[in-house]
Structure 1
């Protein structure tokens, strides 16, 4: 990218006689998430008016993907003083957006549909920078995963596992037999609990650690289910 004075090779937009310079066009549609070369529909200025220019530029685009064709707005912020009649703006966000959900495989969905739903709600909250509520959401998803897995392994104990008084830690201790899953789930629960409490116990850990532990726990659960399937379907002969 070529640097020209205070700018980075801006693209021209000419609307209603007035000319603008922007640093780039959106490279991805926020609705379908495909790589595109969007078409400009309109331009609107707002915000502080200084030197006959506004500090925010909204540019309406249409997605060029034939499967989408949605309208969206790219927001540009003025990054320098005007030079003649040319004003420099830099892209900082696009809206509205449809957040990609995370797909879990059939093994996890069959064990706990609710886990997938709650996890994705927490994921969307995180993508929206709602950092104070996504952690408790991931913690709730973990509880559904562990308890539904415990029910899967112990269907005759479903009523006890679903007892509102049954703490997640007790459920892990009593119903998760695999030592590796037990230890990982415990640590995920510890970090998850920190996300719901006033003071953190594990101050050097955050939701990224929680998600990593949940990911490994998911892998162990999947491996356990697959192992059980083949051991039962292929007994020794």
Structure 2
């Protein structure tokens, strides 16, 4: 669905259920998110949980229709903007604070929304995903065309941090990366963003990886739909 059509549908639902405060709050947040991303900006307002509670749905059964539309958000931003997760300004501020002035490599960066909001970062991606969910990549910053293994082999001695966000679950590139980093005894911060045993990363990766959940980097990392991703340190 084109994002302009999605915004129009949201407007219609907001008018239809204007007397229900929960609708206005959720729809306003989703609209702001879509408009910000269309302008290659991070939305200021954090997304609330897009689904309604059982009590709210019991009281207003018509909200099932609104909920279905709100939960289309993730697919809309994937198809229109090549965005697989929606980050908040507060979360990015936490990440910048953690990284400080150290150098960072982002693997499988996609349109490099994270790297565009950090300093001292090499963004890399092979862009093999183009023509699938989104036809043409539109990076927010310069992205070097390298696959994950090429990227770490080129940059691992130059960086103190590696970020891998929303790695695909249909190959084992993530495990190849981790195995290689263990082999060379790389000592930096390997930051993973994903859903354990769920929508991201390979089964083998989740089976072999050792994880730590940093409190600081999860404080403002919020789930907004049915995908329960978190920020991890990979060991």
TM-score using structure 1 length: 0.28
- TM-score, normalised with respect to structure 2: 0.28
Could you say which structure has the higher strand fraction? 1
Work out which of the two has the higher radius of gyration on C-alpha atoms and give 1 or 2: 1
